């Protein structure tokens, strides 16, 4: 009898701990982490979307717009937090010289005690630089 109550207590404590972790995960995911996530993903997506065939023919670095958009959204979806709603806006993609302008709006979907919702926008303008 005591062992079954101890088992129930451990299960209830485990569920309570997971609930607390999920509630506070939104607090620990800060704006700085979202900014650096956006920055790193932008850089990686730009490097991955370089048009190698065009570079081999002309020696000029250029990116493919569609490939960049696909890579950025895929990478962001894999890395972003599940407890926020993100709105990704790709304002401008210049193929040559490689330049992009992106803004990511994040809005918390977890209940907070004040009842206020904040939209935080991270905007990045990136230029891909290379050395010959």
Q: Which domain holds residue 80?
A: 31-127
Give the pLDDT confidence score for residue 100 in this predicted structure.
Answer: 92
- Residues 27-83: tens digit of each pLDDT: 666 677 888 888 999 999 998 998 888 889 988 888 888 999 999 999 988 887 776
d(CA 48, CA 44): 6
Q: Where are the strands (E) in 1-132, listed by range?
A: 84-94, 99-108, 119-127
Does any domain span residue 11?
no
Does any domain span residue 37?
yes
Q: How many domains does the chain have?
A: 1
Give the pLDDT confidence score for residue 119 in this predicted structure.
Answer: 73
Q: How far is CA 57 from CA 53, 60, 62, 128, in A?
A: 6, 8, 12, 19
Does any domain span residue 111?
yes
Does any domain span residue 26?
no
Give the pLDDT confidence score for residue 132 in this predicted structure.
Answer: 60
**With 80 as the cut, is the pLDDT of residue 122 above it?**
yes
Does any domain span residue 121?
yes
Q: How far is CA 2 from CA 11, 13, 16, in A?
A: 14, 16, 21
Mean pLDDT along residues 3-32: 80
Mean pLDDT along residues 3-26: 83
Give the pLDDT confidence score for residue 60 in this predicted structure.
Answer: 85
Does any domain span residue 105?
yes
Does any domain span residue 24?
no
Give the pLDDT confidence score for residue 70 in this predicted structure.
Answer: 92
């Amino acid at each position: 009898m005591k062992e079954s109550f101890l088992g129930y207590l451990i299960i209830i404590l485990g569920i309570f701990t997971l609930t607390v972790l999920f509630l506070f995960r939104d607090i620990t995911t800060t704006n700085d982490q979202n900014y650096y996530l956006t920055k790193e993903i932008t850089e990686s997506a730009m490097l991955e979307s370089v048009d190698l065939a065009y570079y081999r023919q002309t020696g000029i670095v250029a990116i493919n717009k569609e490939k960049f958009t696909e890579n950025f959204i895929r990478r962001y979806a894999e890395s972003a937090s599940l407890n926020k709603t993100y709105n990704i806006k790709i304002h401008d993609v210049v193929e040559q010289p490689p330049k992009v302008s992106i803004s990511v709006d994040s809005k918390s979907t977890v209940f907070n005690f004040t009842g206020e919702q904040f939209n935080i926008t991270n905007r990045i303008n990136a230029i891909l630089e290379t050395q010959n």
